[in-house]
Structure 1
Amino acid sequence: MSKKLPEAEIIKRESDYLRGTILEGLRDRATGALPEDDTKLTKFHGSYQQDDRDLRDERRRQKLEPLYQFMVRLRLPGGVLSSQQWLGLDRIADECANATLRLTTRQTFQFHGVFKEKMQTFMRMVNDLGLDTRGACGDVNRNVISNVNPQLSHLHREIHELSLAISDRLRWRSGAYGEVWLGEERVAALGEEEEPFYGYKYLPRKFKIALAIPPENDCDVFANDIGLIAIVEDNRIEGFNVVVGGGMGLTYGDPATYPRLATMAGYVPKNQIVDACQAICAIQRDFGDRTNRAHARFKYTIDDRGMDWFREKFQEYHGQAFEKPRSFSLTSNGDRFGWVEGEDGLQHLTLLIPTGRVADTEEGGQIRTALRKIAELHQGDFRITCNQNLVIAGVSAEQRPAIDALVEEYGLDAGNRSTPLRQHSMACVAFPTCGLAMAESERFLPGFIDQIERLMADEGLEPDAINIRITGCPNGCARPYLGEIALTGKAIGKYNLYLGADFSGQRMNRLYRENIDVDTVLTELRPLFRAYREQRQAAEYFGDFLVRTGVVEAERTPAMLHEAVK
């Protein structure tokens, strides 16, 4: 293996703790872009430089540069924000972005269409709301996600507090953020003191942490570098089973890259869990591969060195060994829709937000206006789910009629206006803004679900819950390898079809057909739906049926994500 450092590794090491020349680039009005090296650094600040790919050819013909713009993502541990913060972000969408907000699969917001001249205004408005974008992207710990079950009110509070504590412990600390975006003066050249945990190298690649409360796995806990599975005894969280080395994403044609589910490491008491997360992250910081970015995720560190090595290193870094894991059971990874009453007597409403896009559109209705009006009267908080949906949380009995009236007036979906099939579908953004997209995803999903529902009806099936995931490329932003049915973009109008995950996020799917168009996808699914109707057992999920009947094997190896069944 080459020991030459990749360009991205050199750039961050020489960036003066993520400053680079971002400020100078922001002042340059001759172009809508930043210098290429600085675009690697702005990721750490929560932003990706993009352009409108729908307009590329036309602008090229007009001899114009691409319509450069930025996607900006917030750091929002656990996905919780106040009504006033919601209203502030809604204003930012108009003043600085493309008049939409997007809820992500990591429980936060993405804003699209932020032009360079608006970036500093955007960041300052976010800061005024008590929020930031630090570490929402880049080679650091990303947004910490957690269970949002509104019924278990006190457990949710504990989980959310821990997500905040873990996020703060692993937040990058350089003064670059304040200097670039908030107009702060640099006080001194602090060197290593400026980043006491990350140092000037930061991490080899992104790092993700999730917390789940069984039996719900709404955060797909096994898809993360660290997964924390709460062990609840006597109605209290006593500690966590810790799983490590999960991660979605692969590179087409490179069997050395693969998605992976996290491996059970052991149990850690609750009062040690923040320290344990720091110790595990430090192991990856010190031993992750920095010579090959395609091999730099924690999952490869675990596979290269083994779990025995990892457990020894954990004891060395943490000062205590893992305890024996406790028993647990996970049964689902979707959201509960509609109203539920929490143990605190307050009520909570979960709404379906199709593909997570909060917008006012002719075809989708006035979702954004409706949520703004709810925020104007709501006295509780908002909780973003890991499935791109939204919980209006902490509603008093007195307030519920007013919220119900707005839900009805604007036709919001509380699970009563859509099928279970649609409620268990997710897509990444893809075109027109994502530079990695090979095929449509967000814009494609609604019509594709229509086609699947018609196909199921043709075969005598109700549109029952099937976990469907679509991404525009193989990188896994919507966790496609955990879909019972999943498509990953291969080219315009072409996808890889994956089948056979379970319904609780504990078994990946495998590649079934490669590089096929949508008509072929439907043709392949038709006989499987027919067999499902004829042969399914009571309460059997589609992915489990495919495994039981031998359509796909139960075993999962890296090769199975690259080699089709036939």
Structure 2
Amino acid sequence: MTDIKTTDQSAPSRNKNRKPSKVEGLKERSNFLREPVASELLQETTHFSEDAVQILKFHGSYQQDNRDNRVKGQEKDYQFMLRTTSPGGFIPPQLYLTIDKLADEYGNHTMRVTTRQGFQLHGILKKNLKAAIAGMVKSMGSTLSACGDVNRNVMAPPAPFKNRPEYQYAIEYAKNISDLLKPQTGAYYDIWLDGEKIISAEEKPEVKAARQTNGKGSIVHDNPEPIYGTHYMPRKFKVCVTVPGDNSIDLYTQDLTLVVMTDNESKLEGFNVFAGGGLGKTHNKEETFARMADPICYVTKDDVYEIVKAVVATQRDYGNRIDRRHARLKYLIHDWGVDKFRSKVEEYFGKSLTPFKELPEWKYQDFLGWHEQGDGKLFLGVSIENGRIKDEGPLQLKTALRKIVQQLNLPIRLTPHHNAILFDIELKEKQVVQEILERHGVVTEPSKIDSLVRYAMACPAMPTCGLAVTESERAIPGILERIRSLLDNIGLENEHFVVRMTGCPNGCARPYMAELGFVGSAPESYQVWLGGSPHQTRLALPYMERLHHNDIETQLEPIFVFFKQSRQTEESFGDFCARVGFNAISEFVSRWR
């Protein structure tokens, strides 16, 4: 395979005469994401080959095996995770009911809300994969590009405020940009729906036009994929659209963030643009790191699609296709510097970039509880611990949500904090919703949820994620209980902070922005990160390389004591750690012992 050139632009000089990664060759030979998935799907096997697995990701599925069921000498317990593409977290009622049904028919009887506002189903067998995907598509859903080297699900604040135009703009443009960057290959419909192309919502004419309009090299001509080209992106690409002040979407962790900017009459004027965020890293590889996005420019609303294409094209043509660990946009910007990156984006954009506009401070919001949505109706944010919708013991959350959606035909928005918002609720329906939830053990009053649990996140990890080195979702409830006991014992009964946990360093639950982050580093052990902000506007830093879960109390208690003794008025735990620094913390810990 020769050097990759998706357009007539020269590939980056560092990539010349070096062999691209294996995945680049697989993409090139896939016939635009068809093979070897299409052929192997017809084979009566329990799993796909490693080559097919890489292409299957573009269709929204990861091949996994349940490590709880591994038996030496026997074949792995192969199963598939299926992920939806749901811009802004929007799930219409018929799609929700379909996913609920598929979870029982083909999955493990649970649904998981992701931290990118989609749904994941786990435990699907290969023989049922086609039926599951087809069922979603026929109910206004999709899994296309939920994984793979393409734009992933586009995020937006989930609050359905009908009287705040900026929120409506954010949701609208999240959908439009999702459509703009959607792979155009017919492979998805050929494989999963036998060529029947079902369109759930018509694209806007300006989105269609933007996909074909060439700036200065942003489009690949005479190619089924005008934006991506034959080789798609070097790695995954993540986009969000938000409004000034609302950091419910962790804007600094995205490859590309657009901030809605309106005039004094709340009419859309344009967008502020951030780029270069990303959290995935590899232990003991200093060349990999978490990075926050940088302010890039401001664009008018008429230029928004062109700036998106310009940023995508810059990463497409200059991102690292040799080392996949160094292939995200954050590394390109780190290597080049913001000024060079901005200059290259400007070339693709075709005209000078306008300076970034001033913004207010960012605040994290989760929108739990009852709210007026601004048109006489209500919405309700429902807390879902670790995003897992299931029936277990007295908490029958899956049954409750199904009954509500069936009875009232309500739409749902999934949140970036893996919760769910029921909306368009008539005032007369509030009592019905409340009673169903209470009857099934679901707490709707945010003040009744332990605040550590409310603001915590964990990735699925064991037993299905192939990258996990230790537990996360199954471990965090017990660890939060232990942290709560620690705080209670030292007189910090009402204290809370953002805790996030992952089973590996890839950062799916965004632990590197947490006030206290646990990152899986070995079986039953975690790297500890401290010093992120309560509103996710500052990166945490690694405080301890390996903490065995049995040592949580002995290692964390002195830090909490120091926090209690030396904090400033109303200072949060993350802000305290960032202010005093790790040297002071370590010194106190050594004296305390």
Q: TM-score range by the shorter chain?
A: over 0.9
Show structure 2 runs of 5+ residues with no match. 1-13, 198-220, 586-593
Q: Structure 1: state its 5+ residue gaps.
A: 555-566
The equivalences for 1:496-511 within 5 A come to 496-511=527-542
Report what 2:216 is aligned to. Answer: none
Could you give the per-residue CA deviations for residues 114-163 of structure 1, whole angstroms, max 9, x where no partner exists?
10000110111011112111100000000000112344553322111100
Task: Report the residue type matching 2:105 in the other structure.
Answer: E
The correspondence of residues 391-406 of structure 1 with structure 2, limited to 5 A, is 391-406=421-436
Q: Which amino acid aligns with 1:23?
A: A
Q: Which residue of 2 aligns with 1:33?
A: 47
Residue in structure 1 matching 2:102, options 76, 81, 92: 92
Q: Name which of 409, 419, 432 aligns with 2:450.
A: 419
Match in the other structure for 1:136? 146
Q: Which residue of 2 aligns with 1:433?
A: 464
Q: Which residue of 2 aligns with 1:165?
A: 176
The corresponding residue for 2:383 is 352
Kindly indicate whether the alpha-carbon contact (under 8 Å) linking 2:404 and 2:410 is maintained by their aligned counterparts in 1.
Answer: no
Taking the aligned partners of 2:99 and 2:160, their CA distance within structure 1 comes to: 23
1:352-501 pair list within 5 angstroms: 352-362=383-393, 365-414=395-444, 415-501=446-532
Q: CA deviation at 1:323?
A: 1.5
- 2:565 maps to 534
Which residue pairs with 2:10 in the alignment? none
Is the contact between residue 169 and residue 260 of structure 2 (CA under 8 Å) also seen in structure 1?
no
CA pair 477-438 structure 1, distance change in 2 beyond 3 A: same
* Of 143-152 and 216-225, the range deviating more from structure 2: 143-152
Matched, 1:250 2:286: no
Size of the alignment, in residue pairs? 545
User: Would the alpha carbon gap of residues 116 and 507 (structure 1) be closer, same or farther in structure 2, given more than 3 Å must change?
Assistant: same
The equivalent position to 1:42 in structure 2, one of 21, 39, 56, is: 56
Q: CA deviation at 1:26?
A: 1.5
User: Which stretch of structure 1 is more off in the superposition, 41-50 or 6-15?
Assistant: 6-15
Deviation at 1:553, TM superposition (A): 9.5
The 1-side partners of 2:64 and 2:175 are apart by 30
Q: 1:236 to 1:421 in 2, by over 3 A?
A: farther
Partners of 2:549 and 2:491 lie apart in 1 by 21
Task: Map 1:145-156 onto structure 2 (within 5 A).
Answer: 145-151=155-161, 153-156=164-167
Distance 1:89 1:221, change over 3 A: same
* 1:563 corresponding residue in structure 2: none
Q: Which amino acid aligns with 1:13?
A: E
Q: State the match for 1:551 in structure 2.
A: 582
Name the amino acid aligned to 1:175: G
Q: State how far apart, in whole Å, the 2-side matches of 1:232 and 1:444 are.
A: 44
Q: 1:553 and 1:277 mapped to 2: Cα distance?
A: 44
Residues 29-67 of structure 1, C-alpha deviations (whole Å, 9 max, x = no match): 1x31111100000000001000001111x2x2xx32101
Asked if structure 2 preserves the Cα contact closer than 8 Å seen for 1:331 and 1:503, the reply is: no
Note if 1:202 corresponds to 2:232.
yes
Match of 2:25 among 2, 6, 10: 10
- C-alpha deviation, 1:102, in angstroms: 0.4
1:23 pairs, out of 35, 38, 43, with 38
Distance 2:195 2:262 in 1: 44
Amino acid at match of 2:231: K
Deviations 1:154-188 (A, max 9, x none): 332211110010000000011111111111189xx
1:357-402 CA deviation, whole Å, 9 max, x = no partner?
011112x721100100111123442110000011111211111110
SS of corresponding position for 1:146: coil
Q: Which amino acid aligns with 2:135?
A: M
| Secondary structure in 2 matching 1:550 | helix
Aligned to 2:254: 224
Shift of 1:552: 6.7
Cα separation, partners in 2 of 1:501 and 1:370, compared to 1, 3 Å: same
CA distance in 2, matches of 1:88, 1:156: 27
What is the rounded CA distance, in whole Å, between the counterparts of 1:372 and 1:379 in structure 2?
10
Q: Residue in 1 aligned with 2:300? A: 269
Q: Which residue of 2 aligns with 1:561?
A: none
Q: What is the distance in 2 between the residues matched to 1:553 and 1:397? A: 54
Per-residue CA distance 1:250-290 (angstroms, 9 max, x = gap): 11111001010001111122332222112211110011111
Cα RMSD, aligned residues only:
1.9
For the residue of structure 2 that corresponds to 1:323, the secondary structure is coil
Native 8 Å contact 1:55 1:67 kept in 2: yes
Could you say if the C-alpha distance between residues 445 and 91 of structure 1 is closer, same or farther in structure 2, counting changes exceeding 3 Å?
same
CA shift at 1:192, angstroms?
A: 4.8
| Local SS of the residue matching 1:199 | coil
Contact conserved, 1:419 with 1:464, CA < 8 A, in 2? no
Residue number in structure 2 paired with 1:77: 87
Partner of 1:64: 74
Which runs of structure 1 show a deviation greater than 4 angstroms over 4 or more consecutive aligned residues?
A: none
| Partner residue in 1 for 2:8 | none
- Matched with 1:560 is none
Cα gap change, 1:263 to 1:232, in 2 (>3 Å): same
Deviations 1:477-523 (A, max 9, x none): 00110010000101111110000001112110001011111232332
Aligned match for 1:322, one of 353, 368, 377: 353
Does 2:122 correspond to 1:122?
A: no
Q: Map 1:338-349 to 2 at 5 A.
A: 338-349=369-380
1:332 maps to 363
TM-score normalized with structure 2 length: 0.89
Letter in 1 for 2:534: F
One-letter amino acid matched to 2:32: Y
